[in-house]
Amino acid sequence: MNTIKIEKTESKESGWETFNFKSFQFGETPTDHFFLAEFKNGKWVNPRIEPFHSLTISPFALCFHYGQTVFEGMKAFRQDDGKVHIFRPKKHHKRFNRSLERMCMPEIEEELFLNALEKLIQLEQHWIPKEEGVSLYIRPFIIATEPRLGVKIANEYLFCITCTPMGLYYPKPVRVKVETDYVRAAEGGAGYAKCGGNYGAAFFATKKANEQGFDQVIWTDAKTHEFIEESGTMNLMLFMDNKLVTPKLSSSILDGVTRSSILQIAKDLGIQVEERPVSWKELKEQLESGNRVELFGVGTAAVISPISCVQIQEVDYFPYIENDAVMYRLKKELDNIRRGRTTDKYHWNHFI
């Protein structure tokens, strides 16, 4: 792989100088530069960083027709001392490759992935202010670009890494509904892969839930609709009975990086952790018992998002979201590691 060529923007004013970090919508504003590389003749070539621009792609490109698109979502943070790091890029890289393998797309070597990220974030680090609560969301993605209408695995691809500033994905506690009609992913399908199709296929049920006043659905397993899986933009966790419980990973659940970090943090705090099947019946019984039950989503974008209302079989339940909830302690610990306020004993922060 060649070295990464860098072409800086010629614009005198960089976007971050005028960007309103106090009030913005997630995902609307790209930073000044992005990374690109092409896959041709069996290898990744021409790695480069350019000023952000639109792409010219043939309408015949296979990504538009048969769904070979894979992405990642990760974040860079500025610590209290000003240093910038990317959170767990090696873990994201492994998941990226697992998704690519599932979609028959060419994998990316770790060296290229890390090198591209480091160079890009070095250039874009001004987009991460020191203020609490703002980070830089990093969106690597690969699409099939070979122009061909025949149904086939493409042999040409484009790999890009783009960035956008990020505050809270869910500014308010989330209202969700347990979905038992529609299916996001079945065992043996591609649910564990971060491919575009999983998100597109989720829109219909999510739109219906939105129309009923919910932010998201909780997906259940495709076979029995008894076991809760994930919530579209995040993995799910419960704190009940002094235990942190989360659905066990399967081929239909995304292996969340935040999920894995929170499970580790909980163990380190001496909290008992259970990864196992969780039925909505169990959740319902717990919520009806009057016991304190916390239900929350965890994800790169969502971080830890409290769930204030969950509808199960047409009945609304209200999980515990008061200030002393354990989920906020877990979030604080994660924030402390990322801000450099506590020891990063697993070396999750990858400094640039």
Q: Is 162 left (phi over 0), alpha (psi -120 to 50) or beta?
A: beta
Enumerate residues 6+ apart whose C-beta is below 8 A from 207: none
CB-wise, 51 or 200, nearer to ligand COI? 200
Other residues' Cβ atoms within 10 Å of the Cβ of residue 135: 20
Comparing CB distances to ligand COI, the nearer of 166 and 265 is: 166
Q: How far apart are CA 254 and CA 239, in angstroms?
A: 20
Residue where the block lists tokens 């039950």: 293
DSSP state letter for 82: S
In angstroms, give the least distance from the CB of 169 to ligand COI. 7
Q: Which of 155, 201, 189, 162 is nearest to 62 (CA)?
A: 155
Residue 6 Cβ, how far from ligand COI at the closest point, in Å? 26
Q: Residue 152 CB: number of other CB atoms within 10 A? A: 13
Which of 35, 170 has the CB closer to ligand COI?
170
Q: Shortest approach of ligand COI to residue 22 CB, angstroms?
A: 21
How many CB atoms sit inside 10 A of residue 287's CB? Answer: 21
The residue among 200 and 277 lying less far from ligand COI, judged by its C-beta, is: 200
Strand-pair category, 272-275 with 216-219: unpaired
Q: Shortest Cβ distance from residue 27 to ligand COI (Å)?
A: 7
Which CB atom, from 299 or from 340, has the smaller least distance to ligand COI?
A: 299
Pick between residue 60 and residue 203 the one whose CB is nearest to ligand COI. 203
Considering only CA atoms, which of 222, 224, 223, 245 is closest in space to residue 235? 245
The distance of closest approach from Cβ of residue 74 to ligand COI in the complex, given in angstroms and rounded to an integer, is 7
Nearest-CB residue for ligand COI: 73
Q: Which residues bind ligand COI (CB under 6 A)?
A: 73, 233, 299-301
Residues 298/303/304/310 CA torsion (nearest 10 deg): -60
Task: Please spell the DSSP secondary structure of 34-79, one letter per residue.
Answer: EEEEEEETTEEEEEEEEE-------TTBTHHHH--EEE--EEEEE-
Beta strands 272-275 and 243-246, pairing class = parallel
Q: How far is the CB of 10 from ligand COI (least distance, A)?
A: 31
C-beta of 198 vs 220, nearer to ligand COI: 198
Nearer to ligand COI by Cβ, of 106 and 299: the residue is: 299
Q: Supply the minimum distance, in Å, between the C-beta of residue 73 and ligand COI.
A: 2
How far, CA to CA in Å, does 152 sit from each of 104, 195, 236?
10, 17, 35
**Quick one: 48 or 184, whose CB is closer to ligand COI?**
184
Residue spans of alpha helices (H) in the chain: 15-18, 63-66, 89-102, 110-124, 196-211, 257-268, 280-288, 326-339
| CB 235 to ligand COI: min, Å | 10
What's the closest the beta carbon of residue 42 comes to ligand COI, in angstroms?
Answer: 29
